[in-house]
Chain A
Amino acid sequence: MIDLIKSLLRKKETSKDVAKERLKLVLIHDRSNVSPQFLEMVKSEIIKVIQNYMEIDEESLDIQLTKTNSDDGERVVPALVANIPIRGMKNAGR
């Protein structure tokens, strides 16, 4: 019974809502569509900084631009994800 009332009260999603939602998602992808060269530049800079403190496995370092849910979980936002295997700490970092 409550479900029935709820479903009656809930506004039907209009086609413009669908359009807006789809647009938002596709634009997140379009806007974060960066060139491989750009990512290479970011990668080499990150390696430089981290190497001051740690020994890392440069070969298997992986960095990419992707999407994730925002903190409030309501939106999808672009995210930079880096996977950097650490071989050991350098003395300077302690």
Chain B
Amino acid sequence: MGEVIVITSGKGGVGKTTTTANLGTGMALQGKKVVLIDTDIGLRNLDVVMGLENRIVYDIVDVIEGTCRLKQALIKDKRYDGLYLLPAAQTRDKNSITPQQMVTLCEELKKEYDYIVVDCPAGIEQGFKNAIAGADRALVITTPEVSAVRDADRIIGLLEANEVRNPQLIVNRVRQDMVKRGDMMSIEDIIDILAIGLIGVVPDDENIIISTNRGEPAVNDNKSLAGQAYRNITRRIFGEDVPLMVLSTPDGLFSKMKKLLGFKPA
């Protein structure tokens, strides 16, 4: 019996889709059978982040309306064994699906897959309600900004109210150099305010943009810091005890010297 994990944030643009793509791919790399579901109907993007946009035939609304079978709509990612994508519909709206239909869909997928990772749309309306309907577990994404943390707080309240218990936090786009000089809230500051468990910290990393440009998740890139962070989070989801990454400040004297000497950044 699989587990349904919803990736949510409230605020848009904090990295829900990127996180969904990377965690799902990370799980598949660890040998799990994984389905990624894009529930952002009308504004689908998980397909392009995954580099699978040219392979879409059917979408989630087709499955729910019975236009096709579930198997037909699932796109198999040929690069990663055991990884599938169920894309959102682009020309419909969020009301094309009900939370009950989403529960049924998740139950069906849980029979065959180890993990179902649901990419939730921004906002707290119908799309959010659909995305969390079948969830066994929720990961809340935030960045160290006032607006993102505020929205995360609201989402945590709504998850509790909808009986999705014990959501865990991912703090994305942390810049350790800014934290160090007091111009960015630290992980401790954010945990102090939101009072929920932390499952991972993802450093701000330009490799994410590069890998999104190419449609290849950074989790498979051994040189990417963010990729390393996502690999760690994947293992924590499996229940392993992985210590938090030590984030160094870029371009200190030491790392500059290492760069000069030709060492790869840690």
A-B contact pairs, 18 of them (CB 8 A): A14-B182, A14-B183, A15-B182, A15-B183, A16-B183, A16-B185, A16-B189, A17-B182, A19-B146, A19-B185, A20-B185, A20-B189, A22-B146, A24-B193, A26-B146, A26-B150, A27-B193, A30-B154
Interface size on A, residues (CB 8 A): 13
Interface size on B, residues (CB 8 A): 16
Q: Do the beta carbons of B157 and A31 come within 8 Å of each other?
A: yes
Complex: A22 Cα to B189 Cα, angstroms: 13
Q: Do the beta carbons of A27 and B150 come within 8 Å of each other?
A: yes
Check A23 for interface membership: any CB of B closer than 8 A: yes
A-B pairs, 10 with minimum CB distance? A14-B182, A15-B183, A16-B185, A19-B146, A16-B182, A23-B146, A20-B189, A27-B153, A19-B185, A16-B184
Complex: A17 Cα to B58 Cα, angstroms: 49
Complex: A24 Cα to B150 Cα, angstroms: 9
- From B151, which residue of chain A is reached at the shortest CB distance? A30
Listed in ascending order, the chain A residues whose CB lies under 8 Å from chain B are: 14-17, 19-20, 22-24, 26-27, 30-31
Q: Do the beta carbons of B153 and A31 come within 8 Å of each other?
A: yes
Complex: A59 Cα to B88 Cα, angstroms: 53
Is chain A's binding surface mostly helix, strand, loop or mixed? helix
Complex: A23 Cα to B182 Cα, angstroms: 16
Complex: A8 Cα to B81 Cα, angstroms: 61
Known: A23-B146, A27-B193. A16 touches B154 (CB 8 A): no
Chain B residues with CB below 8 A from A24, complex form? 193
Chain B residues with CB below 8 A from A30, complex form? 150, 153-154
Residue from the set A19, A20, A23, A24 with the largest chain B CB neighbour count within 10 Å? A23
Q: Do the beta carbons of A20 and B193 come within 8 Å of each other?
A: yes
Check B186 for interface membership: any CB of A closer than 8 A: yes
Complex: A22 Cα to B185 Cα, angstroms: 12
Sample of 9 further A-B pairs with CB below 8 A, known A26-B150, A27-B150, A31-B157:
A14-B181, A14-B183, A16-B179, A19-B145, A23-B149, A23-B193, A24-B193, A27-B153, A31-B153
Q: Give the residues from 178 to 204 in chain B that come closer than 8 angstroms, CB to CB, to chain A.
A: 179, 181-186, 189, 193
Complex: A23 Cα to B144 Cα, angstroms: 11
Chain B residues with CB below 8 A from A27, complex form? 150, 153, 193
**Chain A: minimal CB distance from B74 (Å):** 39
Residue from the set A19, A22, A30 with the largest chain B CB neighbour count within 10 Å? A19
Chain A residues with CB below 8 A from B193, complex form? 20, 23-24, 27
**Chain A: minimal CB distance from B9 (Å):** 16
- From B184, which residue of chain A is reached at the shortest CB distance? A16
**Chain A: minimal CB distance from B207 (Å):** 25
- From A18, which residue of chain B is reached at the shortest CB distance? B146
Complex: A30 Cα to B184 Cα, angstroms: 22
Complex: A30 Cα to B183 Cα, angstroms: 25
Q: Do the beta carbons of B150 and A23 come within 8 Å of each other?
A: yes
Chain A residues with CB below 8 A from B181, complex form? 14
Q: Give the residues from 139 to 173 in chain B that come closer than 8 angstroms, CB to CB, to chain A.
A: 145-146, 149-150, 153-154, 157
**Chain B: minimal CB distance from A14 (Å):** 3
Complex: A31 Cα to B145 Cα, angstroms: 18
Complex: A17 Cα to B154 Cα, angstroms: 21
Q: Give the residues from 25 to 64 in chain B that come closer than 8 angstroms, CB to CB, to chain A.
A: none
**Chain A: minimal CB distance from B145 (Å):** 8
